Amino acid sequence: MARLLIVEDQLVLLDAIRRGFEAEGFEVAGAATGRAGLDLCSSFHPDAIILDLMLPDGDGLQLLKNMRQHGFEKPVLITSARDSVDQRVTGLNMGADDYLVKPFVFSELLARIRALLRRNSSSAEPTLSIDDIVLDLVTRKVTQGGEPVELTARQFEVLAYLLQHKNEVVSREMLARDIWRAETATWTNLIEVQVNRLRNKLETKGRKLRLHTIRGVGYLLGDRNP
């Protein structure tokens, strides 16, 4: 699951962008000031940042400079109403990876962030697989035997998490913490339901998914040790 930090002081716009990316399966954190954005950059560890230039406590370009000086190397997309060529060139020269002029449509913003993540994925595996199942972290598509598999956003996140921990035991506590962001006691039944639905979607045409239930603990995707 890609982590996205949005630094935007227009709270209505911030909320709209946040909801849009969460619906696409991103984990999103938002900040309305540069100071909060810098703090979240250190604690949230985003995979990409959407950065507004007009912030109440300073210029976004200075914030971008500070982030780069603190060693943040992931993609940063600037959004701004400033649409002059000089402003865009300055932003890119200061360390931004892309520049989108306001107002914009969400679909373009989403496409640009996905493109930046794809470009940055050379240091990470963009796809995960087991047997004939292939999951693409960038396009968020899953195929089995070359055929597309329709999963909900939550089922995609669960499968990706299990694949990232292939051949390891994944506890319900881990799933609750990292996928549902909640206490296990609240979400145990829902976790079981989603895992079972995921299993049913992938165990078709005689296929057997190597997804083992570890009684009293959680799940293991892959080879189970005797």
* Assigned token pair, 198: 């995921």
pLDDT band of residue 117 (cuts 50, 70, 90) is confident
Domain holding 32, by residue range, is 3-122
Q: Please check the confidence at residue 116 and state whether its pLDDT lies above 80.
A: yes
> What is the pLDDT of the chain when averaged over all its residues?
87
Q: What is the pLDDT of residue 202?
A: 92
Is there a domain that residue 108 lies in?
A: yes
* Whether residue 115 sits in one domain with residue 35: yes
Is there a domain that residue 138 lies in?
A: yes
Q: What is the pLDDT of residue 165?
A: 85
Is there a domain that residue 22 lies in?
A: yes
Is there a domain that residue 112 lies in?
A: yes
* Whether residue 88 sits in one domain with residue 73: yes
* Whether residue 138 sits in one domain with residue 30: no
- Whether 32 contacts 11, CB under 8 Å: yes
Q: Please check the confidence at residue 6 and state whether its pLDDT lies above 90.
A: yes
* Whether residue 75 sits in one domain with residue 10: yes
Q: Which residues are within 8 A (CB) of 188 and not within 5 positions of it... i.e. 6 or more apart?
A: 172, 176
* Whether residue 8 sits in one domain with residue 116: yes
* Whether residue 175 sits in one domain with residue 98: no
Give, in order, the Cα–Cα distances in Å from 66 to each of 69, 71, 128.
5, 9, 34
Is there a domain that residue 226 lies in?
A: no
Dihedral (CA of 121, 103, 22, 150) sign: negative
- Whether 5 contacts 49, CB under 8 Å: yes
Q: What is the pLDDT of residue 183?
A: 58
| pLDDT tens readout for residues 87-108 | 778 888 888 989 998 999 999 9
Q: What is the pLDDT of residue 83?
A: 72
Q: How many residues does the chain have?
A: 226
pLDDT band of residue 121 (cuts 50, 70, 90) is low
Which among 82, 99, 122 is the end of a domain?
Answer: 122
Cβ count near 40 (within 10 Å): 18
pLDDT band of residue 226 (cuts 50, 70, 90) is very low
Q: Which residues are within 8 A (CB) of 18 and not within 5 positions of it... i.e. 6 or more apart?
A: 6, 28, 30
CATH of the domain at 197: 1.10.10.10
pLDDT band of residue 170 (cuts 50, 70, 90) is confident
Q: Please check the confidence at residue 185 and state whether its pLDDT lies above 70.
A: no
CATH of the domain at 70: 3.40.50.2300
* Whether residue 188 sits in one domain with residue 97: no
* Whether residue 150 sits in one domain with residue 116: no
* Whether residue 58 sits in one domain with residue 12: yes
Q: What is the pLDDT of residue 206?
A: 77
Is there a domain that residue 54 lies in?
A: yes
Q: What is the pLDDT of residue 8?
A: 96
Which among 81, 104, 122 is the end of a domain?
Answer: 122
Quote the number of domains for the chain.
2
Q: Which residues are within 8 A (CB) of 99 and not within 5 positions of it... i.e. 6 or more apart?
A: 77, 78, 80, 88, 91, 92
Q: Please check the confidence at residue 150 and state whether its pLDDT lies above 60.
A: yes
Give 170 or 13, the one with higher predicted confidence: 13
Q: Average pLDDT for residues 165-193, to the nearest whole number?
A: 78
* Whether residue 110 sits in one domain with residue 180: no
* Whether residue 31 sits in one domain with residue 70: yes
* Assigned token pair, 183: 């206490």
Which among 88, 122, 156 is the end of a domain?
Answer: 122
Is there a domain that residue 197 lies in?
A: yes
* Whether residue 185 sits in one domain with residue 87: no
